Amino acid sequence: MGNFFLGVLVTLVALVSIGLTVFKVFRRGALTFEVEGFYSHVMDGDSGPLFRDIQRDAQTAELCRVDDPLACSVRDAVLCHSQEGPEECNVLLLSGGGQWGAFGAGLFDTLSRKSGAPELALPGIGVITGISTGSLQTMMLMVALDEKQTPEMRRFAIDRMLWGYSPEKESDVVDHNGLLTVPLYGSAAGTAPLRKRIIEALAPGGDYRLVDAIGASSVAGYAGFVEAERGIFRYADLRELVNKAASKAAATEALAAATMASSAMPIFHQQLRVAGSGGKALSLYDGGVRRSVFFDRAMALVDKEVREAMASHGMTKTAAVTQEAFSEEYRRKAPKVFVVRNGPTVRKFDQTLNHKSGPLENGQRGYDLLVNESEIGAIASLRLSNPYGEILVTTADQYDTFPSEVGENFKKDEMFKPAFMARLRDLGRYKAERAGGAFWPLSTL
């Protein structure tokens, strides 16, 4: 009997050893970038006074100084309207969405082709912010929307963005193994192919013209993400990552690191770490979970500046100045804000969820609800900080109903489905060409 139990014990130990070996072999671990000086060009995002009021008892960090653009805000980049007029400093905010970014790629490709200026999709953009898939778009659009670039270079940037959102197969972008294998692999998808694809999009065949153009752009660009260690939202200055890099190859790696940090959705994507000066590697997560458009603090500063400029000309809300006149003057002085939601704003109807349940279905449902609410809430909060300025929005809603024979209007578990992405690119074309245009205004307060 003793030998029997001993044999069982030995067998169990052997099975556990084999299991641990398999676990170590298959588990991916973190994808790590080593970028010298990376965190010198990364800023802590300021949540603003409303969030700080709510988090008063939890506040441990030093408050940001609004006059320090490398600590708190992009204030200097967005307040150019006081010197040059609002046409010179409009703002473009690009949300996350993974493969849904194909919508934005198709949109800007079509807008550039039908624009009055050669290959310039939106006029007067001074600042672009991007989260997750929007961070990749940000890099390309910093060049494509820069009036100081040549038409050829602007077209090149659009073409590289289109290429990035036109994979031939899902494995061109991620190693997708599915949610069931998360306990084994640590994530639903490995992102080594994404790293390779981003670098190829930026520097095809070692051609660094686009990287150079990003560094020289007159458009400020920022990619947002969350630092896991402190749980705070941060964003990287993309021009500085290029201009302070030791080489063009290093600059390309730095841009890819910022974009992948902004795209590393926990559980779904492989963990991402970036080691900067000193060699300490910090885990960075998809900022879309926290703040899908992170311009609200800068919007509050714009609001303050606009009101002060109006007051200096006697435009304050008094009996002598009507609400309509005040609102119109505010709208005229404030920069326009364009928002691209790379995805839908409502969850697709699925009756099966009423009678079918399981960990995967519940997890996906929770993810969809979280993302939709986060995206919509972040866009809506812009209006709180800017009550009367123009905020123009476009989304990937109608992807399954608009008239098109391109691709497929559905997806299942695919993270990057080529036929679905083709459909989304065509949706971008459709919205850019439809009567009334792609963007519509948010109501004022």
pLDDT digits (tens, 9 = 90+) for 70-128: 334 345 444 554 454 445 578 899 999 899 999 999 999 999 998 877 678 898 888 89
**With 70 as the cut, is the pLDDT of residue 166 above it?**
yes
Contact 264, 270 (CB under 8 A): yes
* Domains parsed from the chain with CATH numbers: 37-441 (3.40.1090)
Local confidence band at 138 (pLDDT 50, 70, 90 cut-offs) = very high
Contact 259, 223 (CB under 8 A): yes
pLDDT digits (tens, 9 = 90+) for 239-262: 999 999 999 999 999 999 999 999
Please give the pLDDT value at position 303: 75
**With 60 as the cut, is the pLDDT of residue 16 above it?**
no
pLDDT digits (tens, 9 = 90+) for 194-236: 999 999 999 999 999 999 999 999 998 999 999 888 888 888 9
The CA-atom distances, in angstroms, between 21 and each of 18, 234, 251, 267 are 5, 37, 38, 22
Overall average pLDDT of the 121-138 stretch: 91
Dihedral-angle region of residue 132 (phi above 0 means left; psi in -120 to 50 means alpha; beta otherwise): left
Looking at the chain, the whole-number percentage of residues with pLDDT higher than 90 is 40
Distance CA(56)–CA(60), nearest Å, equals 9
3-state secondary structure of 51: helix
**DSSP secondary structure of 253-273:** HHHHHHHHHTT--TTTB--EE
Looking at the chain, the whole-number percentage of residues with pLDDT higher than 70 is 78
